[in-house]
Amino acid sequence: MSQRKKIIAANWKMYKDLAESNDFFTFFIENLQDTKAEILIAPSFTNLWHAFDATREYPIEIVAQNMHESEEGAFTGEVSAKMLKSIGIERVILGHSERREYFAETDRILSEKVRTALANEIKIIFCIGEKLEDRKDGDHFKLVESQLRNGLFHLNAKQWESVVIAYEPVWAIGTGETASPEQAQEMHQFIRKTIADKYSNEVSDNVSILYGGSVKPANAKDLFAQPDIDGALVGGASLEVESFIDIISAL
Ligand SMILES: O=C(CO)COP(=O)(O)O
């Protein structure tokens, strides 16, 4: 029997200052209902500590959006795993397509970040996903397989307990265009099989695989009905309490 968790995660990207973040949590906590989902929220670095403090009595986990691959050093503007740990953060998003695209995060850097996070007992949400041209060329499976292999296949089976995968097709991020439930399921099934082939069915059955890319209250239920979709990583629709709660209720 699979142990994998249902997760709804919010990636706030570079939205919400401290006051906006506080307002969100006040309203969110008031309105949150019982759910079988684990709820994760990733605010910007400047809001992390306050968000952690404001939610510590509630079933909400605060997550970082990024961290540096080195333990420490002369890296102006960067944040280390140890710094995150010191304020109670135990999970980080790595490999988001915006980091890969705008901040030149390569597979090699990402595999280092994965290593450093796990060495510091920080769990990861590892994002993978193809661009539109990869899909048009029929290369989407190959591309996703190589992101998995280069980013994560240096891990041992036990370390996979600390990994959540987010499949986010780049063409569906912030565009309003969602992968159809069938397209998403097909890729999630492929990801699970690729992990099973490298490790074992036991490892792959227990990994939560989230879908991300224009998830909204209107499409969430159909996506969550797919057998290999264990939840969502939500951008735009996580910024408003109502729509985020509606997505949580769809699980
Ligand atoms: O990038 C995403 C989450 O990490 C998805 O963003 P949107 O939900 O805004 O498409």
Read out DSSP for 214-228? Answer: S--HHHHHHHHTSTT
Domain 7-250, CATH: 3.20.20.70
Distance CA 247, CA 219 (A): 9
Q: Residue 157's pLDDT is what?
A: 97
Between helix 181-198 and helix 217-224 the angle, nearest 10°, is 40
Q: Which of the four pLDDT bands, split at 50, 70 and 90, describes residue 102? A: very high
Q: What is the mean pLDDT of residues 217-240?
A: 97
Instruction: Using a pLDDT cut of 70, give the percent of the chain over it.
Output: 100
Q: How far apart are CA 97 and CA 227, in angstroms?
A: 25
Q: What is the pTM of this model?
A: 0.97
61 CB within 6 A, ligand 1: no
Does pLDDT of 2 surpass 80? Answer: no
pLDDT (tens digit, 9 = 90+) per residue, 118-165?
A: 999 999 999 999 999 999 999 999 999 999 999 999 999 999 999 999
Of 45, 60, 84, 50, give the one whose Cα is nearest residue 8: 60
pLDDT score at 167: 98
Residues 189, 174: Cα–Cα separation, whole Å: 24
96 included as an active-site residue: yes
| Mutual angle of helices 45-55 and 18-31, in 10-degree steps | 30
Ligand 1 atom nearest to 176, measured from its CA: 10
Per the prediction, the chain carries an average pLDDT of 96
**What average pLDDT does this structure show over 243-249?**
97
- Stretch 110-123: mean pLDDT: 98
235: pLDDT confidence band, cut at 50, 70 and 90? very high
| Marked catalytic residue, from 68, 96, 140, 188 | 96
Joined together, the tokens standing for residue 90 give 């135990």
pLDDT of residue 28: 97
Closest ligand 1 atom number to CA of residue 172: 10
Q: Which long-range contacts (CB under 8 A, 24 or more apart) does 29-36 make?
A: 29/54, 29/55, 29/58, 29/60, 31/241, 31/245, 32/58, 32/60, 32/245, 32/248, 33/245, 33/249, 35/8, 35/248, 35/249, 35/251, 36/6, 36/251
pLDDT value of position 103: 97
Q: Has residue 20 got a pLDDT over 70?
A: yes
Average pLDDT value for residue range 15-22: 97
Rounded Cα–Cα distance for residues 14 and 86 (Å) = 22
Residues 6+ apart with CB under 8 A from 219: 178, 181
Q: Is the confidence at residue 1, as pLDDT, over 70?
A: no
- C-alpha distances (whole Å) from 11 to each of 61, 202, 232, 237 are 12, 29, 10, 10
- The beta strands (E) that lie in 101-230 are given as 123-128, 163-167, 209-212
Tell whether the model's pLDDT for residue 77 goes beyond 90: yes
Residue 225's identity, in one-letter code, is A
**Residue ranges per structural domain of the chain:** 7-250
Alpha helices in 32-80 (DSSP H): 45-55
154 in active site: no
Question: Ligand 1, atom 6: nearest CA belongs to which residue?
Answer: 235
Q: Is the pLDDT of residue 175 over 90?
A: no
